[in-house]
Copies of this chain bind each other. A is one copy, B any other.
């Protein structure tokens, strides 16, 4: 198909939107290891998970053989408010870089949550509603996930309780207000609302909180209040399943124009976006139908893949959640205050961890300042102001495009642009003022937290 026919924005028709999510585990020979009960070290059963998670979501979490899960019509109807998301041909970026590479990005930022998180938030809220629950609880750090969940709950008329890391609650008042606009109750964590919160406050008065502590509070709130369950925005298998809508749409749009990517790039924190983007392509590769280069990009300040260990670990720093087998820096690892809050997670999706362990995916880490350089460059050329998280993928996409310039190869690059940076302007300000630094943990720091991994 000729070059000129590819528009800047490749939109699918609503009728071309995916009817089912794709579960990449179905095509994996080496399945991701099961979640373990932290007490018994035996695989978690549906019964054990049910006080915390909704029943249908548990079913999705544990099912590693069903390839497709139909997307319920009510979720598809919500998706139609902001999906299909555009697949953009980055003509301007290509021209500015003077690269023979063809660059595409799947842009998930054109909704009020500002990121791809909404894709799973609406699914999780929907199943909670289906089960007749009153509401859901969750934690949020940077705020994208909390915002997405608040939007989904407002749409369905479900109560939404968000525990927001106290320091973010204070430093990101605007994110908090967006959640309040959608009717969510937002509590700075640690709080006096929960036992774990009161204990932490007694031990560390004046603490700014942490994601681990907020998770523990949200889980306790779900377990102790009738009619509530806990929901999580990344890491879990169910989240990757829902996020497969990103990859399915991207693939459908590319197929429509006869385009096949050589390299697929995504940023990786807990893995929700990367997992969703690559799923259908990885499926083809696992079935031997095609071959791609997959690259996970993580911050040098929190390098789970590139410097972590593939082992069972707690999903939260509070150690109340099940154990997951994943690339981890240790649940006690405290990432430096990198501005890509969504990537500051010690672990990684068990699905992606298994794929990486099996050599089916690459990973690289990049420094914060070079990420912001790429972000600003991209903003000026392509117009979109990217989130710091997304900019990790931009950085590596540009690197790969420049490599093509050197070699003269006309590779096709696809990357995930997960969201916008409108609520990250403090970080941009630091960058403009030359006050941004790069934190890279020492080997000793990482070893210290890896030494604390549970013995399984």
Contact = CB atoms under 8 A, between A and B. Distances in A.
Contacts of A429: 173, 177, 180
Nearest to A383: B81
A7 interface: yes
Interface string A389-426: 00000000000000000000000000000001011011
As for how many copies of this chain the complex holds, the number is: 2
Contacts of A182: 379-380
A87 to B, nearest CB: 13
Given A7-B13, A380-B154, A425 B112 contact: no
A80 B89 CA distance: 11
Nearest to A152: B383
Contacts of A376: 181
A11 B13 CA distance: 9
Nearest to A151: B383
A380 B92 CA distance: 35
Interface residues of A, number: 41
A173 B425 contact: yes
A110 interface: yes
Given A177-B429, A178-B425, A181-B432, A81 B8 contact: yes
A180 B423 CA distance: 15
Interface in A127-176: 151, 154-155, 173-174
Nearest to A431: B181
A195 interface: no
Given A7-B13, A112-B385, A379 B181 contact: yes
A422 B8 contact: no
Contact of A383 (B82, B382, B384, B426): B82
A281 interface: no
Interface in A93-111: 110-111
16 contacts: A7-B14, A9-B14, A81-B92, A81-B383, A110-B110, A111-B384, A114-B422, A154-B380, A155-B381, A174-B174, A178-B422, A178-B425, A180-B428, A180-B429, A181-B385, A422-B422
